[in-house]
Structure 1
């Protein structure tokens, strides 16, 4: 009886330890967008699903609107483990992970369905492994929409781009892309674009419909030219430091929740694109439709020659183009 009592006491102690709130994990998440943005709502759905499926053992709090710093800073914090999860555009990874340059290449994806087929398949898995090698573990791919040029004066042809100062992200590829169009690329933090347009420090920028609308950039750059030169996916990811502390069951929960959140975010994105375009047009922005992008695409040969010359990257380009 004495042995049985001791065993019961030990079991009770273990059960009590397993149930204690001390085992709960509080994660900090970074996001550059405001709370009502499709990306933000997708991340909130991710947090809800993880909390439900771990019985609140893993609680994720996303700090929206770049509360934890700008994107380049957040990437470094993720690699160090001081931010636990985040959603990033892939362009700032170009200098860190060469394979991310491939999906940043201009005029690469035929349409959104092609983009999803590529990123949800073997090519996306290969890129994810490369990103994990620098300390960030991709879980799912979010939509960021086709990016186009918007400016303070009309751009109707390639010739109209000559000499314009266009804001770009901090990426050699994006700098070269804009140079190929004849513009003067100007790297700036995203948060400085509005005032830089307003003051004339830059003549334009490039982004998708929701970003153009939500930032109110249409108030200071009223001409939106649908070059649709890039459709770069974004990544929902976890710090490798945090990931390595998880067991396989919790990893599976996070991966499944992330992919479900991506499906939700993509639906929200498509609807938001439609609404954003309607809103900026109603506010007086002028849309200049580019119906033939082939002349613009031909300008990108030097970009492909530099960023897809490596045999592995060239092979990824080939696999992307052949994906159906």
Structure 2
């Protein structure tokens, strides 16, 4: 063997003996519409800490809370393009992108929170995850978002009271049809515009859960809360498919486990926050109108079910959820 070959072989052996250098750290940007101290914000921060620790800080995730990276529809598009790496989204804005998300958005579908959680952790979540992946989003875990009810600038006790009222809804055909079915004039608006729109009279009301109503201070301009509990749409903690495809199986499993642990935390914090938020707005003088019999409201939703659960697959998913015990 020549001297040059001997030197080359020695150099290669020396390089092989060196410890492997860690892969370059990945900087991930995350989106959240809520404030950092909201249950979702706290759970997302726990998720990013766990991923950082379990990846030896190779995956460094930072959540931009309070919609710093844009409103929800914009953030979903950025996620699909890969310019946002992870986020926590309500499923309603996906209604026009993934048909199965319409099912869990259907009004008066779930009997209670436990029923919703069993469905989204099982058959409903599996169906939705498949469709979200097809549009570039990987579902990791499911957060609670509470039962949604109406809040308005004047009392609403029956569907008849909604006639002619302009009610803010999310950007979704289903939500537009839902509110129209109740007799209201649905008005799609970004969430960040609701307070000023209520204040100026552009809208007469909106619909959301107790923590959102309280934390945004919407109760200051819409003083009547009607417990229709017409919808209990879960939320998804997800990552961009572009990021996911660059991860190995061990990293994916680690991230899914961290996401599930963050979901357990979020659900516990959510239940606590709902009680506190209701107490706060009642103490501030809000009039709570309790709806004990929701059957007159639910009866108006038959056309919504006929339209949005029309295929055999979607009708079968509705049936599976209703039969759950």
The two structures share one fold, judged by TM-score above 0.5: yes
Partner in structure 2 of residue 9 of structure 1? 14
Partner in structure 2 of residue 233 of structure 1? 234
Structure 2, gaps ≥5 residues long? 1-5
- Tell me the distance in 1 between the aligned counterparts of 2:187 and 2:17: 64
Q: Could you list the per-position Cα deviations for residues 173-217 of structure 1 after superposition, in whole angstroms to 9, with x for gaps in the alignment?
A: 000000010000000000000000000110000000000000000
- Tell me the distance in 2 between the aligned counterparts of 1:250 and 1:5: 35
Tell me if 1:34 matches 2:35: yes
- Tell me the distance in 1 between the aligned counterparts of 2:14 and 2:127: 50
Q: 1:12 deviation in Å? A: 4.2
Partner in structure 2 of residue 293 of structure 1? 294
Partner in structure 1 of residue 69 of structure 2? 68
Partner in structure 1 of residue 3 of structure 2? none
Tell me if 1:323 matches 2:324: yes
Contact kept? 2:104, 2:124, Cα under 8 Å: no
Q: Could you list the per-position Cα deviations for residues 60-115 of structure 1 after superposition, in whole angstroms to 9, with x for gaps in the alignment?
A: 10000000000000000000000000000000000011110000000001111111
- Tell me the distance in 1 between the aligned counterparts of 2:117 and 2:16: 49
Partner in structure 2 of residue 197 of structure 1? 198
Q: 1:144 deviation in Å? A: 0.3
Q: Could you list the per-position Cα deviations for residues 143-174 of structure 1 after superposition, in whole angstroms to 9, with x for gaps in the alignment?
A: 00000000000111121111110000000000
Tell me if 1:138 matches 2:139: yes
- Superposed CA RMSD in Å reads 1.3
Structure 1 stretch 155-164 or stretch 246-255: which is displaced more?
Answer: 155-164
Structure 1 stretch 214-223 or stretch 116-125: which is displaced more?
Answer: 116-125
Q: 1:10 deviation in Å? A: 1.7
Q: 1:4 deviation in Å? A: 8.1
Partner in structure 2 of residue 115 of structure 1? 116
**Structure 2 matches for 1:1-324, cutoff 5 A?**
5-6=10-11, 8-13=13-18, 15-16=19-20, 18-19=21-22, 23-324=24-325
Q: Could you list the per-position Cα deviations for residues 215-266 of structure 1 after superposition, in whole angstroms to 9, with x for gaps in the alignment?
A: 0000000000000000000000000000000000000000000001000000
- Tell me the distance in 1 between the aligned counterparts of 2:127 and 2:200: 43
Q: 1:3 deviation in Å? A: 8.4
- Tell me the distance in 1 between the aligned counterparts of 2:316 and 2:60: 40
- The structure having more radius of gyration, on CA atoms, is 2
Q: Work out the number of aligned pairs and report it.
A: 320
Q: 1:122 deviation in Å? A: 2.6
Q: 1:2 deviation in Å? A: 6.8
Structure 1, gaps ≥5 residues long? none
Contact kept? 2:107, 2:178, Cα under 8 Å: yes
Give the ranges of 4+ consecutive aligned residues of structure 1 lying more than 3 Å apart after TM superposition: 1-8
Q: 1:11 deviation in Å? A: 2.2
Normalised TM-score (structure 1): 0.96
Contact kept? 2:100, 2:131, Cα under 8 Å: yes
- Tell me the distance in 1 between the aligned counterparts of 2:171 and 2:52: 35
- Tell me the distance in 2 between the aligned counterparts of 1:126 and 1:153: 39
Q: 1:6 deviation in Å? A: 3.6
